[in-house]
Amino acid sequence: MSVQISTPSRERRRTLEQHQVVLLMVALLFGAFAVGLPAFRTPHNLVTLLRNICVLGILGVGMGVVVIARGIDLSQVVIMAVSSAYAVRLMNHHGLGEAPALLLGLVVAVALGLINGFLVDFVEIPALFATLATYLLYFNGARTMALPSLIEDVPHRARHLLYLGHGNVLGVPVPILVFAAVALATHLTLTRTALGRFIYAHGDNPDAAGITGIPTRPLTMLEYAFSALVAYVAGLVQAGSIASVDTHVALGTLIFSVILVVVLGGISLVGGRGGVHSVIVGALLVGVMVNGMTLMNLANDIQGIVLGLVLLGAILLDNRLHPRDEETVKQGD
């Protein structure tokens, strides 16, 4: 029981954490691209690289919190698409001003997240199945009741929304600042507050957390609501960037990329492990690879193969450095 806690510091120094392994891979790839591709190492390209991982990173932060708490939110990208499209539709077709429309979009996102939390903790449906069901329900329900158009173009008067995608502060694109703000706020909450400790305890051992007096049911609802809120923010950044909301994104593979960057960076699906830094290194690895391969003009299928192989390599390396055994896979120790 206490073996993990009393691991000698010498042992700790010898092995790398998963996020450090991934960070090492980021550094290696970064170095290789910087040497081989002069266009890669330009400051402009590095800003673009960061800019292009913002939506993935923001979503990853929300998903990371849910996974740390031993959940999963497969409906996250649907919530992102539906709530941001609804906000824009309110401006386009119902004459609402930017502020009330964005507020109502936020309400929709949080409400959908709360429903997820309710289904997982009060109805006690496993998170995987609950959010898979709500993925279908939210998307098709929204199409039927509120979003007859899959694409909503952002009107010119939505200046603040467009600024979220196109603005910059002292040369730094606003999406990067939004990602940084979401990541920092979440990191501080997880590491410096009682709420953060509750979330880790919830993921580490929900029964023990409940016994010790942590209100796990409201906490679950809060976690899913947070994931939805963050998804809404990512949706607004995306909408501002391309001046439209394309809800097709919900039908694509973005949700798998989100789960990938979360798990890759060291947030274990069994809960209680990892942090915001895990998401950042996971997103960086994907971002560096995609950026480098785009500059190399590699065909999309070759990019897919390389991406798959490097990710597999990262996981294999982690397995070599951290052999799995009964102790390390156990929860609640």
43 vs 213, which CB is nearer to another protein?
43
104 vs 246, which CB is nearer to another protein?
246
Rounded to a whole number of angstroms, the minimum distance from the CB of residue 295 to another protein is 5
Q: Which range of residues in 24-32, 178-186, 208-216, 247-255 is near another protein by CB under 8 A?
A: 247-255
Is 9 near another protein (CB under 8 A)?
no
By CB neighbour count within 10 A (0-12 exposed, 13-18 middle, 19+ buried), where does 220 fall? buried
Buried b vs exposed e over 232-256: b needs ≥16 C-beta within 10 Å? Answer: bbbbbbbbbbebebbbebbeeebbe
Provide the CB-side half-sphere exposure for 142 (13 A, CA). Answer: 28
**Which token pair is 294?**
């785009």
Binding mask 253-292 for another protein (x = CB under 8 A): -------------------------------------xx-
Is 159 near another protein (CB under 8 A)?
no
Residues 163 to 182 in contact with another protein, rule: CB under 8 A: 165-166, 173
Q: Which of 87, 22, 115, 67 is nearest to 235 (CA)?
A: 87
Q: Which of 61, 129, 105, 122 is nearest to 235 (CA)?
A: 105
Is 77 near another protein (CB under 8 A)?
no
Q: d(Cα 274, Cα 86) in Å, to the nearest integer?
A: 33
φ, ψ (nearest 5 deg) of residue 152: -120, 125
Is 49 near another protein (CB under 8 A)?
yes
Please tell me the count of residues contacting another protein according to CB under 8 A: 41
Residues 128 to 157 in contact with another protein, rule: CB under 8 A: 140, 143, 147-151, 153
Rounded to a whole number of angstroms, the minimum distance from the CB of residue 96 to another protein is 19
Q: Are the C-beta atoms of residues 161 and 154 closer than 8 Å to each other?
A: yes
HEC letters along 241-261:
HHCEEEHHHHHCCHHHHHHHH
Binding site for another protein (CB under 8 A): 39-40, 42, 44-45, 47-49, 51-52, 55, 140, 143, 147-151, 153, 165-166, 173, 238, 241-244, 246-249, 251-252, 290-291, 294-295, 297, 299-301
